[in-house]
Structure 1
Amino acid sequence: MDRMHYTNGEDTNCRLCTRDPETHDHLFFTCRYSLQVWKYIQAKTHSRWPNLSWFSLVEWTSRRYQDTKSINNRIGALILAATVYYIWQERNRRIFQQLSQSVSTVGEAIFQVLRDQLMSNNGLSMADGTRAIWNIP
């Protein structure tokens, strides 16, 4: 079974929803909180992600977004990396600081870091529609 590591009889339930056992698939893709973060990001970035397991999605992403010269491929890879990272950070914030953030706060933070990254990517041309989605002049 794919479980996160716990010691000393700690509760193995997900720190985001507190309902289900915490696995990679659950934490990043099927947890109620994570699903809402993904919905927020997909709506904000006009993107869609397949419903795959953690390992299958990583494999799918690496195949689909191989060509890093394409702005759309770079955006897709960045969305996956940033969203997983921020979900992990939210999990750790709840464990180690006993603090939590709303889905919209986390989603907006993800969007802003992606936007900043795209604005700093010199040399990649971006279609007007893509610029509009990311509010890039």
Structure 2
Amino acid sequence: MGELKTFKLKTLDILESNDEDIIHHEIPLLDGLIINREDDQNRWVIEAYVKHDLLTFFNDLKSKKDEVMVQVKITKESNTPATFITQIISVNEIGPHMNILFMGQIVDRQKGIIKETLQKLVEEGYQGESLIKKFKEEI
């Protein structure tokens, strides 16, 4: 296995589909890291360090969804966002704060294509798990 590459996580959005729209949940980060594991499945680990008041949101997300689509900016705010399909590995309380660990694969570096693809699939009536499944096939 190659050397792990670690980057600073600057922004984190959770992307959720409902009816015909994509909802962006902007997660206010206290801190965060993203690690390219450089394994054979090209998986990345994303660690978000956030305020404790997001505990219910993330526990609900973890229990309701097998896969969570996230959009992140790495290193600096001005960078283009990268989109990942992830699973929440763990939600941990750390004193007055908490962290969430996601593991997943990067899906595309070009956000325009992602937004168009998602929009098209949502308009075709895909939702929830079937939307994510179809989205994976399309990209």
Instruction: Assess same fold via TM > 0.5.
Output: no
TM-score by length of 2: 0.24
- Structure showing greater radius of gyration is 1
**Structure richer in strand, relative to its length:** 2
TM-score by length of 1: 0.24
**Structure richer in helix, relative to its length:** 1
